A and B are shown apart, each in its own frame.
Chain A
Amino acid sequence: GQQVMQIPQYQHVQEGEDFTTYCNSSTTLSNIQWYKQRPGGHPVFLIQLVKSGEVKKQKRLTFQFGEAKKNSSLHITATQTTDVGTYFCAGPTGNQFYFGTGTSLTVIP
């Protein structure tokens, strides 16, 4: 079955530092989505990438979809304490929607 792995599992950064999480799928994905889950909360949709090599930006967040559509990354520039949470990538295989293992981000003020 499909596996979606994310690295790192945990990341602690000083406020103002950059942060990147990487997502790798064992199979080619038709699209990939990114979600953020605040501590104690539920996942909230951030963005969807569809095209090979696609890059999208949301303020300080930059999302990339690999050329082979098997990997993706989320980069946050100049982290803030509001960025704290767990970031998940997710991708479909047929009617099933698989989430990655997540990267938990801690931002130290």
Chain B
Amino acid sequence: NAGVTQTPKFQVLKTGQSMTLQCAQDMNHEYMSWYRQDPGMGLRLIHYSVGAGITDQGEVPNGYNVSRSTTEDFPLRLLSAAPSQTSVYFCASSYKGRGPPEAFFGQGTRLTVV
């Protein structure tokens, strides 16, 4: 059971480049989300999804897009990378309404934008 798999683990981008962070879970969780973690600011919610075909914005959605075409996958797209997007990104999944409540996190992606 792989849990939540995030790729890549590390990435360096130049300002203006675009890229997609991949996230996949094999637990049949309805709820998936993306967070960014910056020093002193905890985990801030970027986007989330309550099921396939449904996505919504979190606290800090600007500069990011998501889609949820399947239950398993929830990619995060950076449209035009900026230095302010240098951060550690975590994908998480959990049951929504039924089953154990805890969120399972991926290993994280350390992104540097230069």
Contacts and interface: CB of A to CB of B under 8 A. Distances in A.
Contacts of B42: 4, 6, 88, 99-102
Contacts, number: 56
A96 B102 contact: no
Contacts of B58: 96
Nearest to A103: B42
A33 B45 contact: no
Contacts of B35: 99
Interface of A: 1, 4, 6, 9, 31, 33, 35, 41-45, 48, 88, 90, 95-102
Contact of B56 (A95, A98, A101): A95
B49 to A, nearest CB: 9
Contact of B48 (A1, A35, A97): A97
10 contacts: A9-B40, A33-B103, A42-B90, A42-B106, A42-B107, A42-B108, A95-B48, A96-B48, A97-B103, A102-B43
